[in-house]
A and B are shown apart, each in its own frame.
Chain A
Amino acid sequence: MNSTQPVTEVVQDPEAISAFREGWFKFCQVMKLFLRNKLATLGLVLIIAWTVVAVVAPLIAPYAPDATELDAKLQSPSAAHWFGTDQFGRDILSRVLHASQISIWTGLIAVAISFFIGVPLGGIAAYYGGWLGNLIMRIMDIFLAFPSLILAMAIAAAMGPGLISAMIAVGIVGIPEFARLMYSQTIYLKEREFVEASLSIGVRNRTILMRHIFPNALAPLLVRITLGMGFAILTAASLSFLGLGVKPPLAEWGAMISDGREYIITGEWWIVTFPGLAIATTILGFNLLGDGLRDVLDPRLRTSRK
């Protein structure tokens, strides 16, 4: 397939080793810059913490997430139930811990949908241009004309409520952002010398797009992925809150808050407070990390947080 490509890398090649060293050095520099940014580090810590929680939730949760204890309904936080219990006597702490799995999976799957559809669309539109490129980008613009939560709602409602619908809906809503980002990156990169050089030695367009342009656009895409995770988790939780996400017995933060709504009036604060804190800290983590990554990786897009 790649008969036109003359060089295959050999690991023992001294040049490759020095390139690796250089790469490692660069990575260390980036990490150093990154760790100097305290807020971004906090973001990273929050995300690592929630990821660990999601992985070990079944081991550390004191109760099963759907275990009801009818004589322990609506109990305020105590030694037995640190975060209290809900109207069915379920342990809120256990449910919050278990729900982290759903939220993180939802974020990952939704962002994966946006990424794997949006990035190729944006890259193709920019690289080949012409009527196809125009058409793709106009369609993306039209998607952006819809307020994001409302579009997600309409898609999820049309597909029928459920966790899968919510993931797909949130994923579709995120496509245009990725497409636009990849589009602008490709437009900029395709005029660079290394693309011209590859073209002149007869490398195929598809290979250029995938092996030369895409890797060079990774840094801003990584920032977008991080910020997109926060957006996806928040939007999916909002859909659950509106009754368009997970079905009742399953523990999900947005749905838990929705369940606890009525009890706010009578002052049972713990039912909504803890899942809400969980959502807020997760999103805070992704936002801080995203901003921090942007400052370190892509000085052109640097925020004004000076």
Chain B
Amino acid sequence: MLQFITRRMIYLIPSLLGIVLITFILSRVLPGDPALMIAGEQAPQSVVENIRTELGLNDPLYVQFGTYVKQLFQGDLGTAWHTGHTVIEDFAVRLPATIELGIVSLLIALLVAIPVGIIAATKKESILDHISRFFSLIGACMPVFWLGLLLILIFYSKLGIAPAPMGRIGNDILPPTNITGLYLVDSLLTADWVAFRQALSHIIMPAICLSAGTMAIIARMMRSSMLEVIGQDYIRTARAKGLSEGNVIYKHALANASIPTITMVGLQIGYLLGGAVITETLFSWPGVGSYVTESILATDYAPIQAFTLLSAVVYSVINLLVDVIYGLIDPRIRYD
């Protein structure tokens, strides 16, 4: 098992290098002169030229790449001009909000999608199956930004039962003592019930919005892999042995059907990262995603590049973890 994990980790190295190379190319080779961006359109040529030298933009590309990699190893992702901080500092402040939103969204998606997928498969062609398939069809084609706005419209503007889409907690409430940075966890740890209720009510809408697409895809995946497994011989054998239906479905079928679903969850992390940019912007959620949108509007490139790089790294590492989990669940995979 250890050998399997090591081998998978070694595979990760060239792909990480590739990711760094692509983000580098994006920042240097594509049109758009960073020096001109910093200096402004009307800046005299000499000023632009000075900035170019200062940034090392006049060096040969391979030297620039070397410098870029060196800076990455030193944890230097550049400076965000529009906030005046280094990108790392801004990320450190904003990351907990994004992590909290991401975890809650994924939990909602899994808690709804897996049972729905199982029931839809075991009660195929029932009304519930049709309803769940209808929603997974809709969920897959609804743009995140539109769904978010409809949620705000219905639950805040019209019904008035949701809080204003303005951040993680009400303006008049103090955030809980900072322990993990996740408001829900921190307020539970400090038994700050007011903050907990506030944080919970603020996170529900953005989390549902972000989870919808994932929920739809996982429910569909779960249904189809369950259907496939239920048709297998070993399920018939299990039934023939006289096992209860619950035992057959939840022990024998679910374990086997969960493998493709786990892969899908890994792939969905990428979707969640992209969706977070949009969802956070809609709900003024003070995370990394809304930071990226602010940077886009301010034509500030360093944060965008850094976010691109980090999300690709996170995505790759999570897919590595998925592979490892795979190996744990299904020993056959370790020996390929």
Chain A residues with CB under 8 Å of chain B are 138-139, 141-143, 145-151, 153-155, 157-161, 230, 234, 237-238, 241-244, 254, 257-258, 260-261, 264-267, 269, 272-273, 276, 279-280, 283-284, 287-288, 303-306
Q: Quick one: which of B274-295 are within 8 Å of A by CB?
A: 274-275, 277-278, 281-282, 292-293
Question: Complex Cα distance A157/B305, Å?
Answer: 9
Question: Complex Cα distance A261/B278, Å?
Answer: 12
12 contacts between A and B (CB under 8 A): A141-B18, A145-B15, A145-B316, A147-B315, A150-B274, A238-B278, A242-B277, A242-B293, A265-B152, A265-B164, A267-B157, A305-B133
Structural contact, B143 and A138, CB atoms closer than 8 A: no
Question: Complex Cα distance A174/B16, Å?
Answer: 20
Structural contact, B153 and A157, CB atoms closer than 8 A: no
Question: Taking A142-B15, A243-B296 as contacts, is the C-beta distance between A303 and B30 under 8 angstroms?
Answer: no
A153 partner residues in chain B, CB cutoff 8 A: 274, 277, 292, 296, 304, 308
A145 partner residues in chain B, CB cutoff 8 A: 15, 18-19, 312, 315-316
Structural contact, B14 and A150, CB atoms closer than 8 A: no
Question: Complex Cα distance A305/B137, Å?
Answer: 12
The stretch of B42-50, B57-65, B223-231 in contact with A is B223-231
- Chain A nearest Cβ from B89, distance in angstroms: 21
Query: On chain B, which size bracket covers the interface?
Result: 35 or more
Question: Complex Cα distance A273/B147, Å?
Answer: 10
A258 partner residues in chain B, CB cutoff 8 A: 145
Structural contact, A257 and B145, CB atoms closer than 8 A: yes
Structural contact, A304 and B141, CB atoms closer than 8 A: no
Structural contact, B164 and A146, CB atoms closer than 8 A: no
Structural contact, A138 and B308, CB atoms closer than 8 A: no
- Chain A, Cβ-Cβ closest to B224: A304
Structural contact, B141 and A242, CB atoms closer than 8 A: no
Q: How many A-B residue pairs have CB under 8 A?
A: 160
B146 partner residues in chain A, CB cutoff 8 A: 257, 272, 276, 279-280
A151 partner residues in chain B, CB cutoff 8 A: 308, 312
Question: Complex Cα distance A161/B15, Å?
Answer: 28
Which of A237, A264, A276, A283 lies at the interface centre, i.e. has the most chain B CB atoms within 10 A of its CB?
A264
> Within the complex, which residue of A142, A149, A241, A305 is in contact with B274, where a contact is CB–CB below 8 Å?
A149
Question: Complex Cα distance A242/B148, Å?
Answer: 14
Whether B91 is near chain A, meaning CB under 8 Å from some CB there, is no
Question: Complex Cα distance A130/B15, Å?
Answer: 19
The stretch of B21-29, B203-211, B248-256, B322-330 in contact with A is B21-29
Which of B18, B149, B275 lies at the interface centre, i.e. has the most chain A CB atoms within 10 A of its CB?
B149
7 closest Cβ pairs, A-B complex: A149-B274, A304-B224, A147-B270, A142-B18, A276-B146, A154-B308, A283-B141
B271 partner residues in chain A, CB cutoff 8 A: 147, 149
- Chain B nearest Cβ from A163, distance in angstroms: 15
- Chain B nearest Cβ from A101, distance in angstroms: 19
A273 partner residues in chain B, CB cutoff 8 A: 150
Given contacts A139-B18, A149-B278, A287-B137, 16 further A-B contacts (CB under 8 A): A142-B15, A147-B269, A147-B311, A150-B273, A150-B277, A153-B277, A153-B292, A153-B304, A153-B308, A154-B23, A158-B26, A238-B274, A242-B278, A265-B165, A284-B141, A287-B140
Question: Taking A149-B274, A242-B296, A276-B149 as contacts, is the C-beta distance between A155 and B30 under 8 angstroms?
Answer: yes
Q: Quick one: which of B2-43 are within 8 Å of A by CB?
A: 14-15, 18-19, 21-23, 26-27, 30-32
Question: Complex Cα distance A237/B144, Å?
Answer: 11
- Chain B nearest Cβ from A257, distance in angstroms: 6
> Within the complex, which residue of A158, A257, A267, A272 is in contact with B27, where a contact is CB–CB below 8 Å?
A158
Structural contact, A147 and B312, CB atoms closer than 8 A: yes
> Within the complex, which residue of A141, A160, A238, A304 is in contact with B227, where a contact is CB–CB below 8 Å?
A304
A155 partner residues in chain B, CB cutoff 8 A: 26, 30
Interface flags for B234-270 (1: CB within 8 Å of A; 0: not) read 0000000000000000000000000000000000011
- Chain B nearest Cβ from A159, distance in angstroms: 6
A143 partner residues in chain B, CB cutoff 8 A: 22
- Chain A nearest Cβ from B223, distance in angstroms: 7
